Every structure is written in structure tokens, then in C-alpha cells.
Amino acid sequence: MTIPGIGPLIATAFATLAPAAETFHKGRDFAAWLGLVPRQHSTGGKQRLGATTKMGERSLRRLLIIGANSVIIKRNVHAGAKHGTWLSDMVGRKPTMLVRVALANKMARIVWALMARGGVYKAPAPTM
């Protein structure tokens, strides 16, 4: 619950619905299980990424996107969303739904890392 956008409901849902973190080798595998990564159309050494697959765990994916939306809406409260950060740059350049899914993907990888290694989330230090 220390991750911005993840409250008691989402944390409980992850504790009950997600398999053990050891099931996945890395955070991308966990995000793919949730259905938050782009579809790959790769051939001949050239990678082409398409739309989000949406082939994973539906309820957890939906909760993560809702949590990401709350972070985007309350950008002035969260330190990781202040002006000059990755999130504020993305909101300025990309469509809103794409930013929500990208942030949900990032949050899913953080959740996997905390489930796999333990510990408490520490927000990255602002660079200015």
C-alpha cells in the first residue's frame, strides 16, 4: 500500500488473486500475465510492438488502471508525478488512456519486485 495508486483494496486483491512471485522470472512476465504489455509482432530481428494484449488477469488489470488513473488525476499530491518527471512528460505527449496503461504496467512491475524481494516501496528521489 506504500506504492502511489495502490490502496487497501488493490493490495488485498493482489494478495489473494496473484500467484506467488517466484512463478515469474521478472517483472515483465508478471505484467504480461496481467495483460499490460504490448503485443509483439517481431520477425527477422526487427521488433514491432502493437496494442496492449488484454489477455491476462482481468480484475487485477482493471484495478491497476484505476489506481494509475488516481495518480494521474492527483498529480499535484504525488511526488513522482510532479512537473519534469516521466509521468508529467508522458501526460503532455501521449493520449491519456495510453499513459494510464503505461503507469499501470510500471506499478505492476513494482508490485512484483516487492512481492519477490520483500521490503517497502521507496519513491525515487526527484531529479532537478
Domain ranges of the chain: 8-117
**Mean pLDDT score of the chain:** 82
In the prediction, which pLDDT does 32 show?
86
Question: What number of other Cβ atoms are within 10 A of residue 53's Cβ?
Answer: 14
Lookup result for grid cell 506504492: 3
Q: Which of 4-13, 33-42, 43-52, 94-103 has the lowest mean pLDDT?
A: 43-52
Model confidence over 59-112: pLDDT tens digits?
898 999 999 998 888 876 665 566 667 888 888 888 888 899 999 999 999 999
In this prediction the pTM is 0.81
Spatial distance between the Cα atoms of 117 and 21, rounded to a whole number of angstroms: 9
CB 113 within 8 A of CB 22: no
In the prediction, which pLDDT does 80 show?
58
In the prediction, which pLDDT does 40 show?
67
Distance spanning both ends of the chain, measured CA to CA:
27
Q: State the DSSP H helix or E strand holding residue 38, giving kind and residue range, or none if neither.
A: strand 38-40
